[in-house]
Amino acid sequence: MRIAVTGADGFVGRVVVRELAARGIADVLLTDRAFATPPPFEALPGELADPAVFARVIGVDAVLHLAALPGAAAEADPAASRAVNLDLPLWLIEGMAGRRLILASSIAVFGGRLAAPVDDATVPTPTSVYGTHKRMTELAFADAARRGAVKGMALRLPGIVARPRGAGGFGSAFLSDLFHAAREDEAYVVPVAPEATSWLLSARAVVRMLVDALLSGTTEGDAITLPARHVRIGALVEALGRIGDTGGFTYAEDTGLRAVFGSYPPLATPRADALGFRADVDLDALIEAAFDD
């Protein structure tokens, strides 16, 4: 089976590349705008919207689509978000023509101020450009899967830590900055209160689920919310203090960030659980994996 990965030189994409290599997968095409270092598989730099690049990507047996414009950047430029977060996935859904496609969707489809608990019956009500485009993509995928026009899954990713410092376009960047500040023994102003809560996964855990989905033969039309750790920010800071120094951490809440990224209720994911998808086993395991990655 020949596989293509879009957004392969991004934070999650690089971990996917390592995971595919570790599993002995050899026939892989990677694409991104550019590659910082030569990857271990065939690399195709360029814009996915370029017809020549796109034709190469849809010429494979299975695609893992990671390329996206992040949430804050999408909100700042809705037209660019439509081009990247909606048009490209729609082209892939059509272009894969009955073959396998794994779409990286997002918990942003749920919007903010969710009632507890969130589970597989929770109706998505996006409140951002990014979340709306992701939800539109989910609906298009579900319709294509219903008609047998595509195989695969759309998987809703939670917050992934720890992204590199300075990762542009992510309103949730502070969730990763906590890890970097603790590791470097730096003072840090946490922009949400200690009782704020988020859904988090290490890149390692989310990549295991993405690659498992890619290599499986299962098709799920309705989007699947991946399991995640329901993390209280104060508990995260305390746990980070066992590995680094959080003595210089203080709190100054930004109510906007709290509403979007710090108000998540408990999460239940029975459909994902039944498919064998698993989050980091506990907060300490999440932190260890995040530092290792």
What CATH code is assigned to 161-198+229-268+281-292? 3.90.25
- Describe the strand order of the beta sheet including 197-202 as a list of residue ranges: 159-161, 197-202, 229-232
Tens of pLDDT, residues 213-223: 999 999 999 99
3-state class percentages of the chain: helix first, strand second, coil last, to nearest 5: 40, 20, 40
Tens of pLDDT, residues 14-65: 999 999 999 999 999 999 999 999 999 999 999 999 999 999 999 999 999 9
The predicted pLDDT at position 97 comes to 96
- Sign of CA pseudo-dihedral 175, 208, 100, 56: positive
Low-confidence ranges of the chain (pLDDT < 50): none
Residue ranges of the domains in the chain? 3-158+201-225, 161-198+229-268+281-292
List b or e across 145-159, with b for residues whose CB sees 16 or more CB atoms inside 10 angstroms.
beeeebbbbbbbbbb
**Alpha helix (H) residue ranges in 147-232:** 173-183, 203-215
Domain 3-158+201-225 belongs to what topology?
Rossmann fold (3.40.50)
Nearest 5°: phi and psi at 200? -130, 150
Angle subtended at Cα 253 by Cα 248 and Cα 258, rounded to the nearest 5 degrees? 125
The predicted pLDDT at position 116 comes to 86
Provide the whole-model pTM.
0.95
